[in-house]
């Protein structure tokens, strides 16, 4: 989980085989919900095909991340500032 957060926030195309629902939320927050594949719901073959497709679309995803991640980081920083101001 932590490595996916680091890679997404660094604008690196990332895919994950999820083992919990947390992955979906993290990937959704980065606009990459389609790159989180739930191992509890998908077959091995479906997971493999999903990962291959994700790899093939990495150049498109990189551009999306470059466009979207700065605002995600800005929102996160704003939320931390609000929390600190309350403390």
> Cβ(73)–Cβ(9) under 8 Å?
yes
- The rounded distance, in Å, linking the Cα atoms of 43 and 29 is 25
What b/e string do you get for 5-36 counting C-beta neighbours within 10 Å, with b at 16 or more? Answer: eebbbebebbbbebeeeebeebbeebbbeebb
Specify the pTM. 0.83
Q: Does residue 87 have a pLDDT over 90?
A: no
Q: Does residue 1 have a pLDDT over 90?
A: no
Interval 43-69: pLDDT, tens = 999 999 999 999 999 999 999 999 999
Count of other CB atoms within 10 angstroms of residue 82 = 9
């Amino acid at each position: 989980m932590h490595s996916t957060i680091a890679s997404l926030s660094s604008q690196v195309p990332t895919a994950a085989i999820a083992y919990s629902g947390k992955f979906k939320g993290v990937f959704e927050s980065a606009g990459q919900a389609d790159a989180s594949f739930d191992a509890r719901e998908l077959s091995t073959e479906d997971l493999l095909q999903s990962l291959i497709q994700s790899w093939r679309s990495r150049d498109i995803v990189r551009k999306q991340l470059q466009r979207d991640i700065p605002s995600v980081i800005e929102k996160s920083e704003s939320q931390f500032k609000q929390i600190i101001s309350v403390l």
